[in-house]
Amino acid sequence: MRLLKRLGILFLSAMILTSLISCGKDEIVLPPHQHTYYGKHIAGNCQVKGYMEYTCACGDTYHGEEDAEYGEHTFVEDPVPVRVATQDTPGIKRRYCTVDGCSEVEYYNYEWQPNDLPDTEFD
Q: Which stretch binds Zn ion (CB under 5 A): 24-32, 77-85, 89-97, 109-117?
A: 89-97
- Does position 46 interact with Zn ion (CB under 5 A)? The reply is yes
Comparison of 66 and 100: residue with beta carbon closer to Zn ion? 100
Where helices occur in 1-123 by DSSP H, the ranges are 2-25
Q: Which of 11, 72, 64, 23 is nearest to 43 (CA)?
A: 72
Comparison of 101 and 118: residue with beta carbon closer to Zn ion? 101
Tell me how many residues contact Zn ion (CB under 5 A). 10
- Does position 60 interact with Zn ion (CB under 5 A)? The reply is yes
Q: Is 120 helix (H, G, I), strand (E, B) or coil?
A: coil
Q: Which residues lie below 8 Å from residue 90, measured CB to CB, with a gap of 6+?
A: 107, 108, 109, 110
Chain contacts with Zn ion (rule: CB under 5 A): 35, 46, 56, 58, 60, 73, 97, 99-100, 102
